[in-house]
Chain A
Amino acid sequence: VIQFLVRRIFWAFFLFLAATGVTYVLFFVIPSDPARIAAGKAATAPLIKHIRHMMGLDLPLYHQYWNFVWALVRHGSFGYSYVNGEPVRSMLAQEIPVTASIVLGGVILYLLIAIPTGVISALRPRSIMDRVGMVFVLFGVSAPSVWVGTMLLYLVGFRLGWTPISGYCGIKPTSAFGECGGFWPWFSHLILPWVTLAIGSAALYTRLIRANVMETLSEDYVRTARAKGASPKRVLVQHVLRNSMLQVVTILGMDLGLLLGGALFIEFIFGLPGLGQQILTANNSFDLPVIIGITMFACLAVIAFNFIVDCLYAWLDPRIRLT
């Protein structure tokens, strides 16, 4: 196990270096002048030169990359926004909880929908439940989250007035003026984003789980377990579900990592100040340090969740060894 961990950590470190290198080079070799952009409109040549020097952009590219990696490793710094000079790290610290709230809540919700729906559909193929489930799947897959979100916002938030229309409240109660916080405000601001995220993903996961469970039900070891007199509950939970979840866990791991990089459409529709909003803003203003910071975070999230998935494999299927 220790060997496995060391190897994975080493591999994660290598991936991280490769991702930072590629990202850095990509963003810094495109034909734009960050100093000119940072200097703003009607900037004079001496001012641009001064800013270029302040940003270290007059150094060779390898030197700039080394400075970037060193600042990241030594000080945990992603640099400073070209637009407002704010440390990218503190921007991420504000935005990660927002995106994490959306993603984790949405994932819990869609798993709560997808697992029972998928299992019931698999256990009772062509039943009414199965057909209703498939209609749901068809709807969820067909309806873009932008449309679902806008409809929910208009019908539930505006027309019915049951939830806030837009915005975000932190989960922690706050006394800071103008800011809202606490569990219920947080929950009520996020329920529509969660549902929006859940509808599309639940449909896909329902389909996936249904197929996996049906396939597993036909396996020899399931028939053997039944023949040996195992109860239907034991067969379903211990043998069918556990084995059906391998693929689900793999995709879930990747989904989580990617979504944590920014649930772009959801944040856009509901005015949630998360990583997705920030990367849009940064992209529009070519705020390269912020774009790199968010890319790095997404990269780290994917690496971390893949690592967790690898560990879960061994737990779900004892035949897989962490070697």
Chain B
Amino acid sequence: MHRKSLLSLFMLSMGAALIVAAMAVGVASARTQATRNLVVTQGGGAFDTLDPQLAYVSNDWGLQYNTELTLLNFPTAAGTAGTKLIPQAASAMPAIANGGRQYTFHIRPGLKLSDGSSVSAANFQRAFERNLSPQMYAQWGIADGLDQFLVGGAKFAAGKAAHISGVDANGLTLTIHLTRVVPQFTSIMGMPWFQAVPSNLAYSNNKGGIRVYASGGPYYIYSNNLNKLTVLKRNKHWQTSGYFTSNWPSNPDVITIKSTPNSDGTAELLQAEKGQVDLAGVASQDIHDTVQTYGINKKTSKGELIIGPTTCILWNAMNDLAQNGTTKKTNVRKALNYAMSRTVQNSYYGEQAGKASEQILVPAIPGYNKLTYYGGTGDLTKAKNVGGTDLKDAPLNIYYRASSTAQSNIAEYMRSQAVKLGMKPNLTPADPADYYGALETKATATGSGGYNITASGGWCADYEDGYDYFNVNFDGRNIQPTGNADYMYFNNATFNSHMDAAAAKTGSARATAYGNLDKEFMQTYAPLIPREIPNSREFAAPRVGNYIYSTWWGQGYWNAIKVPAT
């Protein structure tokens, strides 16, 4: 039996031997044989689609900045310089005629897509058509009113025309005719939806859209397994002139993006600290220790923690249509603005999650001026003074996502503050299958079970204009039975006319008008509680050089980063 015991012991040690063998193998590096490969890992979020006309999520657009060729684009530059559009495919800013109803873009000669085909106006015309075609799975363009302000847009979107009559492609000249004055149109042209696509790029009735396609930016999508691995390679046809290489450099040869949809982020951070990947997000649970170890925005020999603002604003929406009528009263909405501390709410998202704010506009948007009106610290005395007797026993349905720890905490905090105000709060968890359904549907918002206030909500810029913050979200004339973006169901005739007036202005007058709207909105109506401009928190491995943070995309410019060849 002794020999058998030894044999068994030997077998027992097999497991340990396997571990030792693996250790001998060492780390199979996440980097591959390419010369300068920037490896990015996305813990907790994959791409839903990278189809140029279907993509509408921040990380989709963050990637597409590297692959797109738009008529106008944001330069790869730090700070506010990176939030100002400059001509990219267009030789200059558009020529505007017909009282603001006609935009003409002249496209630079010699531009090519990654497949070697020449870029002409037809490539941009196709982008417009893919935005509106009924043969496409989703029509975000319609949600943004593209069909209404493009001449022939509605007819094309209804499938009654082969082309949009108001989008005229003639060689290198693209002329766009609008049904009405749309001063923000220039800004809209910087959106990835309007990038040059192959003029025969198919329509897609699949939500994932077209995954790999020729593009005109510094990189193109080489391979794309949406929720696992996406590889960008340098576009060998990218322009070599100083204007392009300085405004849109292409430093890495390859950009590899690894997605781990359900990670809590810690493993990705460890990988970046170990140099197994180059860029990783920093999750809430890790941020404190990472700040302690690396500081903020300080390059060290062991890596760098980068924290920067985004162009998003988070808020708590207050429903004007709730049947109990509580949040229809302006003084109650103002009282809640005083009562709900921004600092406390933001703390539930962890350290360095963002910066408290009390307004709609963010610093990157023309017209922004910092406003402080409610104090943001949860002033119950002022709240009671403003709310008066309207607060007493007033029902307050607090709508939140129960699966979110932060939202649950915020909802509980709101409940406790409301109780202190003498209100009768009630926690109303969202349908776990469909958080937005109740918010977007007017009948639900109006019904007796309707919500009064949400624990979360917000907006990120589609384009750099106050219109995208105010008119898109708060113009009550656009409220529909479903599909609403205005979860406040705020519809005020005076404010609508003020928004119309701001939208009709151009240049610095426009910026001033939106700045004034920002002040009027919160001081006079207060239909929501703006609470935070969220931060992006990213960690760069020691080998990462030339990291430039983009406020617009809320991440580093991948195309600018320098990594050594391996």
Contact between B261 and A39, CB atoms less than 8 A apart = no
Contact between A42 and B143, CB atoms less than 8 A apart = yes
Q: Complex Cα distance A266/B43, Å?
A: 16
Q: Complex Cα distance A94/B270, Å?
A: 26
Contact between B15 and A113, CB atoms less than 8 A apart = yes
Q: Complex Cα distance A293/B532, Å?
A: 40
Q: Check A169/B28 contact, CB under 8 A, given A109-B18, A163-B22.
A: yes
Could you mark each residue 225-242 of chain B with 1 if its beta carbon is under 8 Å from any beta carbon of chain A, else 0? Answer: 111110101000000000
Q: Which residues of B contact A236 (CB under 8 A)?
A: 4
A26 to chain B, nearest CB (A): 13
Could you mark each residue 165-188 of chain A with 1 if its beta carbon is under 8 Å from any beta carbon of chain B, else 0? Answer: 111010000001111100011011
Contact between B482 and A232, CB atoms less than 8 A apart = no
Could you mark each residue 271-295 of chain A with 1 if its beta carbon is under 8 Å from any beta carbon of chain B, else 0? Answer: 1010001001100101000000000
Q: Determine, out of A16-24, A61-69, A154-162, A218-226, the stretch whose residues face the partner at the interface.
A: A154-162
Q: What is the chain B residue whose CB lies nearest that of A191?
A: B22
Q: Complex Cα distance A162/B12, Å?
A: 22
Q: Complex Cα distance A167/B229, Å?
A: 11
B380 to chain A, nearest CB (A): 35
Please tell me if A82 contacts chain B, counting CB pairs below 8 Å: yes
Please tell me if B262 contacts chain A, counting CB pairs below 8 Å: yes
Please tell me if A120 contacts chain B, counting CB pairs below 8 Å: yes
Contact between A109 and B433, CB atoms less than 8 A apart = no
Could you mark each residue 144-155 of chain A with 1 if its beta carbon is under 8 Å from any beta carbon of chain B, else 0? Answer: 000000100110
B300 to chain A, nearest CB (A): 18
Q: Which residues of B contact A284 (CB under 8 A)?
A: 262
Contact between B261 and A277, CB atoms less than 8 A apart = yes
B36 to chain A, nearest CB (A): 13
Please tell me if B276 contacts chain A, counting CB pairs below 8 Å: yes
Contact between B207 and A82, CB atoms less than 8 A apart = yes
Q: Check A177/B223 contact, CB under 8 A, given A112-B11, A167-B30.
A: yes
A172 to chain B, nearest CB (A): 14
* Interface range on chain B (Cβ under 8 Å from partner): 35 or more
Q: Check A178/B229 contact, CB under 8 A, given A37-B433, A166-B271, A184-B28.
A: yes
Q: What is the chain B residue whose CB lies nearest that of A38?
A: B207
Q: Which residues of B contact A30 (CB under 8 A)?
A: 433
A144 to chain B, nearest CB (A): 15
Please tell me if A137 contacts chain B, counting CB pairs below 8 Å: no
Could you mark each residue 1-45 of chain B with 1 if its beta carbon is under 8 Å from any beta carbon of chain A, else 0? Answer: 100110111011011001101110111101010100100000100
* Interface range on chain A (Cβ under 8 Å from partner): 35 or more
Please tell me if B519 contacts chain A, counting CB pairs below 8 Å: no
Q: Complex Cα distance A194/B274, Å?
A: 22
Please tell me if A124 contacts chain B, counting CB pairs below 8 Å: yes
Q: Which residues of A contact B1 (CB under 8 A)?
A: 123, 232
Contact between B437 and A180, CB atoms less than 8 A apart = no
Please tell me if A57 contacts chain B, counting CB pairs below 8 Å: no
Contact between B437 and A33, CB atoms less than 8 A apart = yes
Indicate which residue in B14, B49, B271, B440 contacts A42 across the interface (CB closer than 8 Å): B440
Contact between B431 and A32, CB atoms less than 8 A apart = yes
- Chain A CB within 10 Å, residue with most, of B206, B207, B440: B207
Contact between B267 and A180, CB atoms less than 8 A apart = no
Q: Complex Cα distance A191/B32, Å?
A: 21
A22-77 residues at the B interface, CB under 8 angstroms: 30-33, 36-45, 47-48, 51, 54
Q: Check A189/B226 contact, CB under 8 A, given A32-B433, A158-B273.
A: no
Please tell me if A117 contacts chain B, counting CB pairs below 8 Å: yes
Contact between A277 and B480, CB atoms less than 8 A apart = no
Could you mark each residue 249-276 of chain B with 1 if its beta carbon is under 8 Å from any beta carbon of chain A, else 0? Answer: 0000010101011111011101101101
Indicate which residue in B19, B48, B138, B440 contacts A84 across the interface (CB closer than 8 Å): B48
Q: Complex Cα distance A51/B22, Å?
A: 49
Contact between A116 and B9, CB atoms less than 8 A apart = yes
Please tell me if B139 contacts chain A, counting CB pairs below 8 Å: yes
Contact between A188 and B484, CB atoms less than 8 A apart = no
Contact between A119 and B22, CB atoms less than 8 A apart = no
Please tell me if B561 contacts chain A, counting CB pairs below 8 Å: no
Which label, helix, strand, loop or mixed, suits the secondary structure of the A interface?
helix
B457 to chain A, nearest CB (A): 12
Contact between A165 and B276, CB atoms less than 8 A apart = yes
Q: Complex Cα distance A123/B373, Å?
A: 79
Q: What is the chain A residue whose CB lies nearest that of B228?
A: A273
Q: Which residues of A contact B268 (CB under 8 A)?
A: 166, 271
Q: Complex Cα distance A232/B5, Å?
A: 12
Please tell me if A83 contacts chain B, counting CB pairs below 8 Å: yes
Q: Which residues of A contact B348 (CB under 8 A)?
A: none
Q: Check A195/B231 contact, CB under 8 A, given A178-B32, A286-B434.
A: no
Q: Which residues of B contact A277 (CB under 8 A)?
A: 260-262
Please tell me if A307 contacts chain B, counting CB pairs below 8 Å: no
Contact between B226 and A86, CB atoms less than 8 A apart = yes
Contact between A85 and B207, CB atoms less than 8 A apart = yes
Contact between B27 and A188, CB atoms less than 8 A apart = yes
B542 to chain A, nearest CB (A): 14
Please tell me if B119 contacts chain A, counting CB pairs below 8 Å: no
Indicate which residue in A40, A123, A184, A271 contacts B260 across the interface (CB closer than 8 Å): A271
A98 to chain B, nearest CB (A): 10
Contact between A154 and B431, CB atoms less than 8 A apart = no
Q: What is the chain A residue whose CB lies nearest that of B205?
A: A54
Please tell me if B485 contacts chain A, counting CB pairs below 8 Å: yes
Q: Complex Cα distance A32/B261, Å?
A: 23
Q: Complex Cα distance A161/B43, Å?
A: 20
Q: Which residues of B contact A54 (CB under 8 A)?
A: 205
Please tell me if A80 contacts chain B, counting CB pairs below 8 Å: yes
Q: What is the chain B residue whose CB lies nearest that of A195?
A: B19
Q: Which residues of B contact A217 (CB under 8 A)?
A: none
Contact between A36 and B437, CB atoms less than 8 A apart = yes
Q: Complex Cα distance A174/B5, Å?
A: 43
Indicate which residue in B12, B30, B209, B480 contacts A164 across the interface (CB closer than 8 Å): B30
Please tell me if B422 contacts chain A, counting CB pairs below 8 Å: no
Contact between A40 and B138, CB atoms less than 8 A apart = yes
Q: Which residues of A contact B258 (CB under 8 A)?
A: 167
Q: Which residues of A contact B185 (CB under 8 A)?
A: none
Contact between B260 and A273, CB atoms less than 8 A apart = yes
Q: What is the chain A residue whose CB lies nearest that of B137?
A: A85
Q: Check A37/B27 contact, CB under 8 A, given A178-B223, A198-B15, A277-B262.
A: no
Q: Which residues of B contact A166 (CB under 8 A)?
A: 260, 263, 267-268, 270-271
Please tell me if B436 contacts chain A, counting CB pairs below 8 Å: yes
Q: Which residues of B contact A86 (CB under 8 A)?
A: 208, 226
Please tell me if A270 contacts chain B, counting CB pairs below 8 Å: yes
Please tell me if B222 contacts chain A, counting CB pairs below 8 Å: yes
Contact between A44 and B142, CB atoms less than 8 A apart = yes
Q: What is the chain A residue whose CB lies nearest that of B268?
A: A166
Contact between A268 and B262, CB atoms less than 8 A apart = yes
Please tell me if A103 contacts chain B, counting CB pairs below 8 Å: no
Q: Complex Cα distance A172/B280, Å?
A: 27
Q: Which residues of A contact B208 (CB under 8 A)?
A: 81, 83-86
Pairs across A and B, CB under 8 Å, 22 listed: A32-B433, A36-B434, A37-B433, A45-B483, A51-B137, A84-B207, A85-B206, A85-B207, A109-B15, A112-B12, A120-B8, A120-B9, A153-B270, A163-B23, A164-B30, A165-B274, A166-B267, A166-B271, A177-B34, A178-B223, A188-B27, A268-B263
- Which 9 A-B pairs rank lowest in CB-CB distance, beginning with the nearest? A32-B433, A85-B206, A116-B8, A191-B22, A84-B208, A185-B28, A162-B23, A85-B208, A166-B267
Interface residues of A (CB under 8 A from B): 30-33, 36-45, 47-48, 51, 54, 80-86, 94, 109-110, 112-113, 115-117, 119-120, 123-124, 129, 150, 153-154, 156-158, 160-167, 169, 176-180, 184-185, 187-189, 191, 194-195, 198, 202, 232-233, 236, 268-271, 273, 277, 280-281, 284, 286
